[in-house]
Amino acid sequence: MGNSVDLIFKIAGVGILVAVLNTILKHAGKEEQGHLVTLAGLAIVFIWVIQLLANLFDQVKSVFKLF
Partner 1 sequence: MDVLQIVAIGLIATVLVVVVRSQRPELALLLSVAAGVIIFLLVLGKIGSIMDVIKDLAARAGINMVYLGTILKIIGIAYIAEFGAQICRDAGEGAVATKIEFASKILIMVLAVPIVVAVLQALLKLVP
Q: How far is the CB of 22 from partner 1 (least distance, A)?
A: 8
65 phi and psi angles, rounded to 5 deg: 55, 40
Are 22 and 38 in contact, with CB atoms under 8 Å apart?
Answer: yes
Examine residue 33 and tell whether it contacts partner 1 (CB under 8 A): no
Residue positions counted in the chain: 67
Among 26, 30, 35, 46, binds partner 1 (CB under 8 A): 46
What is the Cα–Cα distance from 41 to 66, expressed in whole angstroms?
A: 34
Examine residue 61 and tell whether it contacts partner 1 (CB under 8 A): yes
Q: Which is nearest to 52 in space by CA: 15, 1, 7? A: 7
- Residues lying near partner 1 in the complex (CB under 8 A): 1, 4-5, 7-9, 11-12, 14-16, 18-19, 22, 38, 41-42, 45-46, 48-49, 52-53, 55-57, 59-61, 63-66
